[in-house]
Amino acid sequence: MALKPNYGQQRADRNRSKQEKKDRKLRQQQEQTALRKAQKPDVDATEKKS
Nearest of 25, 47, 44, 28 to residue 36 by alpha carbon: 28
Q: What is the pLDDT of residue 9?
A: 97
Report the predicted TM-score, pTM, of the whole model to 2 decimal places. 0.64
Give the residue with greater pLDDT, 25 vs 1. 25
| 47 burial via Cβ count (<10 Å: 0-12, 13-18, 19+) | exposed
Rounded to the nearest integer, the mean pLDDT of the chain is 89
Give the CA dihedral 23, 27, 29, 30, nearest 10 degrees.
Answer: 140
